[in-house]
Structure 1
Amino acid sequence: MDSSEEYWPGKRFGLPEAGQRSTPGWNRRIGGILIDWALSLGLAAVFFGFNNLSILAVFILLHMTGGLLAAGSPGHLLMKMRIAPITGGRLGIVAPIVRPLLIALVIPALLNDDDRRGAHDRLVGTILVSR
């Protein structure tokens, strides 16, 4: 890519710079994960006595269920984001199941590229986009 050419996250995948299907910024991403974590804390406290492993398990389950049913966790959806496959089409079954397991490891989510894709997204072929 020519260094004089303007680049924005998602451009190499044909995504717009802003608006629907663009790559959301960090504030929305952090807001989404905080919503998911707070929801996980609450559900784990009510149903499992608020132990650490149950909080993580609920978080993973929320992401898996949301990914399979709505292409995004409750936090993603409230922050107007969704998970999209890089190749286009439907999200499928593998990405919504594997992606949350990788996020739970924390490190893959911190290893981001120029398109704001963490290692968890690169490994399953997805990108987070605006709705």
Structure 2
Amino acid sequence: MWSAPPAYPRRVARWTGEWLPGTGDGGQGTDQHGSRWPGEKLGLPESGVGSAASGGARLLGLIVDLVVAALVTAIFLHPSLQDPAAMQEFNLWSGGVWAVISVISAGFFGFTPGMAVVGVRVARLDGAALVGPLRALVRAALTFVLIPAAVRNADGRSWLDRLTGTVVIRMR
């Protein structure tokens, strides 16, 4: 039986720490923002469970989610590669299925099917157990736009993470 991992991170930096200077120690081995590894300012470990997820894992999880959504859609609506109108309808429905899968699974479980495959999950910075449907909806809407999901800071957090007060961490 699946058991929820502990709520990470337990200790977080000030919310202004992402853009105000002087929040790092400026010591050897730090990046330009004062961190030695992504997520250090948020209290995340350097590696292993609870560390910041890589961009590659996040992208692979999204691709898996999109494939799952297309397969579920194909059960009800058969794609026809020769018919552009049919493919446009299929893609529209597939995007809707992806949104529903993403919002429900991330909102209530902290991860989507694709995130589970690659071993990452979404955690709230305030330590709450659930991401919640509203935050998951905002994350899905911004992921759909793509640019907010792609631009990340030194802690590996995208714009959608910063807007919703979340971070994507490793589960294994």
Relative to the length of structure 1, the TM-score reads: 0.91
Matches of 1:124 and 1:27, distance apart in 2: 21
Structure 2 residues without counterparts, runs of 5 or longer: 1-23, 31-35, 80-89
Instruction: Give the superposition deviation at 1:49.
Output: 3.7
Quote the offset at 1:30 in angstroms.
Answer: 2.2
Match status 1:66 vs 2:110: no
Question: What pairs up with 1:8-27 in 2 under 5 angstroms?
Answer: 8-27=37-56
Provide the C-alpha distance between the structure 2 equivalents of 1:115 and 1:34, rounded to a whole number of angstroms.
22
Matched, 1:116 2:140: no
Asked if 1:86 corresponds to 2:125, the answer is yes
Bigger CA drift: 35-44 or 3-12? 3-12
Cα shift readout 1:49-95 (whole Å, capped 9, x = no counterpart):
44111111111111101112311100111211110011212223321
1:76 equivalenced with 2:110 (yes/no): no
CA contact under 8 A between 2:104 and 2:133: conserved in structure 1?
no
Distance in 2 separating the partners of 1:44 and 1:117: 31
User: Is 1:48 matched up with 2:87?
Assistant: no
* SS of alignment partner, residue 103 of structure 1: helix
For 1:63 and 1:83, locate their aligned partners in 2 and report how far apart those are by CA, in whole Å.
11
- RMSD, matched Cα: 1.5
- Distance of 1:14 and 1:86 partners within structure 2: 10
1:113 counterpart SS class: coil
Q: State percent identity of aligned pairs.
A: 27
Bigger CA drift: 105-114 or 11-20? 105-114
Give distance in 2, aligned partners of 1:39 and 1:10: 30
**Which amino acid in structure 1 is aligned with residue 91 of structure 2?**
N
Structure 1 residue 40 displacement after superposition: 1.0
Distance 2:28 2:72 in 1: 50
The 1:48/1:3 distance shift into structure 2, 3 A limit, reads farther
TM-score by length of 2: 0.70
How many residues in Structure 1 have an aligned counterpart in Structure 2?
Answer: 131
One-letter identity of the residue aligned with 2:105: G
If each structure's helix is expressed as a fraction of its own residues, which one has the higher value?
1
Pair member with larger Rg: 2
Counterpart code for 1:20: V
Unpaired runs of 5+ residues, structure 1, are none
After the TM superposition, which of the residue ranges 37-46 and 15-24 deviates more from structure 2?
Answer: 37-46
- Which amino acid counterpart does residue 169 of structure 2 have in structure 1? V
Q: Secondary structure of 1:16's match?
A: coil
